[in-house]
A and B are shown apart, each in its own frame.
Chain A
């Protein structure tokens, strides 16, 4: 791939209303940033798009909400779920990897993106956090 000026561009992309959790929670982070050919998405937690507030629940409900929000924000940015190349899933408990995977499988096309899943200590009692890299 040739390196032209476009491919070196960096741009902060505004998330749709209600989905810019990083800004709503006062975090020094942008929810979506484009760099070169890629779109980098901050770690997302479950947020109700109607209110912009956190929506804590089960691993399954949080996964469903996060991925529905991710789909909307990727599409608003001109990308899509089938352009996702890599997903990192952080779970409060690896015991819940199977229910996460069951919900996850309904959101991504076939063949799915590359993915890493791990258990981690998440802030604010979140059960799930998902970050991803997509083609812009």
Chain B
């Protein structure tokens, strides 16, 4: 059984705003698989380019909205892939990351990759439903 999790706020419907052929998240087999999370204004859908820190704050706020709308939460994250534009910002990522996964942080892998529109960070996550 595969359940589609719809966008928790109008701006987070990437398909509507950017034509991406993807659902915000899918719940299946007790897990929630989220599409790559980007720093997008949850109300307007506008891109929120900034520093890696500001982009990460925006992404985690959006992720919180998405997971909570699906009956999960940031505390239930299982695995995180953090794709950052340059590994020189690794410590910068860690400082902001800690705020959101204070208790028993999820498994995590960080690597460098390009994200759309030149964003500095994208989070690819799986949470327990």
Residues of A near any B CB (own CB < 8 A) = 1, 36-38, 82-83, 85-88, 90, 93-94, 97, 101, 104-105, 108, 111-120, 133, 135
Q: B39 to chain A: closest CB distance in Å?
A: 15
Contact with A along B14-51 (1 / 0, CB 8 A): 00000111111110111001111000000000000000
Chain A CB within 8 A of B113 CB: yes
Interface stretch of the complex, out of B87-95, B97-105, B114-122: B114-122
Residues of A near B4 (CB, < 8 A) are: 111
Q: How many residues of B contact A (CB 8 A)?
A: 27
B36, A117: Cβ atoms closer than 8 Å = yes
- A116 is contacted by which of B2, B19, B36 (Cβ under 8 Å)? B36
CA distance A44 to B124 in the complex (A): 19
Q: B70 to chain A: closest CB distance in Å?
A: 11
Known: A97-B116, A116-B122. A36 touches B33 (CB 8 A): no
- B29 is contacted by which of A36, A88, A104, A120 (Cβ under 8 Å)? A36
A117, B116: Cβ atoms closer than 8 Å = yes
CA distance A117 to B28 in the complex (A): 21
Residues of B near A115 (CB, < 8 A) are: 20-22, 35-36
Closest to A103 in B: B21
Name B37-90 residues within 8 Å CB distance of A: 81, 83
CA distance A104 to B22 in the complex (A): 10
7 contacts between A and B (CB under 8 A): A94-B115, A97-B116, A108-B21, A114-B35, A115-B35, A116-B35, A133-B33
Q: B75 to chain A: closest CB distance in Å?
A: 20
